[in-house]
A and B are shown apart, each in its own frame.
Chain A
Amino acid sequence: MSEATMADMTSRIEELRQHALEQVRAENFDEALALYDEALGLTDDEELRELITINKGHALIAAERTGPEVKALPMILMRRRNAHHTFLSSYALMYTHRLTNESKRAIFYGQIALEAATEAEQTFWRLAALNELGMVYELDSQFGKAIECFNNALACLNQVSSANEQNVSRVAIIGNLGYNKLLVGETKEGIRLLHSVVEEMPSEHLKADVYVDLCYGYLDLEQYETARRFGDMSLEIACEPRQVRNAHYLLGEAAYKMGDVDAAEEHFEQLARFYPQFRHLKSLLFAIDLRSMINLKL
């Protein structure tokens, strides 16, 4: 193969890879996976194949699937071919263990990702690792550490050059920071942060989470009318059962605390429908406030 043809091929592979990354960001996973396969079919270069394998592994994880590329990630990480591959593979492993609620393993890989990003002096990698690691600490109920990660991630923001990357990251990090502030009792600050980003959330799914966080925060401030307003807004756009359950539970609590027993009964009844075998759930909810025991993101 001539040098010119080689250069064309390398450029075509990179084009496919970049297109696949865009498809992953748009959650078009099947398209992304097909593009990665096409790219893998065009190259014998080991380093490039390893990079595409990591990218494909990440896409599979994001699609909540598995495959040989996901299984290859620990081996790729151990190989530590270069800082970029070390960062990407450890980040993907942190991500998959977060999704499966294996917080200790996720923290282990997250720390490797953070070290790799710091050593490579790559601000955006560091920012991404800190935000993800913060979510893992939150999952593990280490809210102080989570807040530290989100604050450090925010500090990286000003050094990120792309305005688009900067805005998407800012909204996500502040949303995470706001919720964790609620969990450590800094309720007013948490609410302020959540209000500052709620309307910029890039999807209904994320917005529903922030609305229910606000409901939780206002409940804590005993501002029950406002809590109910945000609970209702969350319920209106809730995309998954977790969000529906959280909204009904918090709306039931807010209604009960306002003395609106009928509304509380209705919301607790809706929640109880998820647990038909739990006959005394409603009685329990009327008797005990479970808010201090729950993490709305799980």
Chain B
Amino acid sequence: MEQGEYKVGLDTLLKILATFDLSIGDFFDESARNESVVQKYRSLSPSAQKEVESFIEFKRAQEEDGSWDSDSGESEGDDV
């Protein structure tokens, strides 16, 4: 082995990589999802994009505050 570089056959390499198929899948699924969200955002008009940004800021502030529980709306009804 020279310069720390060990080469293997394509078949061996792909069989090794196949054992990480699920993780690779997660990586590509996540990337695809992010790309899809960004594309949808870009397809909006400038004013709609501003609305989305304001809504994101609103949700972020809510979560940082800790005063809002995502399940609270449903649980209110359950107590009645």
Contacts and interface: CB of A to CB of B under 8 A. Distances in A.
A245 B8 contact: no
A242 interface: yes
Interface in A245-298: 245-246, 249, 274-275, 277-281, 283-284, 287, 290, 292-298
A167 interface: no
Contacts of A174: none
Interface stretch (A54-62, A91-99, A123-131, A141-149): A141-149
A280 B21 contact: yes
Contacts of B28: 280, 283-284, 287
A246 to B, nearest CB: 6
A245 B18 CA distance: 15
Contact of B1 (A140, A183, A241, A278): A140
A141 B5 contact: yes
Interface residues on B, range: 10 to 19
B6 A141 contact: yes
B48 to A, nearest CB: 31
B70 to A, nearest CB: 31
Given A141-B7, A242-B9, A290-B10, A275 B1 contact: no
Nearest to A284: B24
A298 B9 contact: yes
A298 B25 contact: no
Contacts of A295: 7-9
Contacts of A246: 10
Which of B2, B7, B9, B25 is packed against the most chain A CB atoms within 10 Å? B7
Q: Main SS of the interface on chain B?
A: helix
B64 to A, nearest CB: 35
B11 A141 contact: no
B7 A183 contact: yes
Contacts of B13: 290, 293-294
B17 interface: yes
A295 B2 CA distance: 14
Interface string A50-83: 0000000000000000000000000000000000
A278 B7 contact: no
B45 interface: no
Given A280-B24, A280-B28, A283-B28, A298 B12 contact: yes
Interface in A107-143: 140-143
Contacts of B14: 274-275, 278, 281
Given A275-B18, A281-B14, A298 B1 contact: no
A284 to B, nearest CB: 6
25 contacts: A141-B5, A141-B7, A142-B2, A143-B2, A144-B2, A242-B9, A242-B11, A246-B10, A249-B10, A274-B11, A274-B14, A275-B15, A277-B21, A280-B24, A281-B18, A283-B28, A284-B17, A284-B24, A284-B28, A287-B28, A290-B13, A294-B13, A296-B9, A298-B7, A298-B11
Given A144-B2, A280-B21, A298-B7, 5 more contacts: A249-B10, A278-B17, A279-B25, A295-B7, A297-B9
Interface of A: 140-144, 183, 241-242, 245-246, 249, 274-275, 277-281, 283-284, 287, 290, 292-298
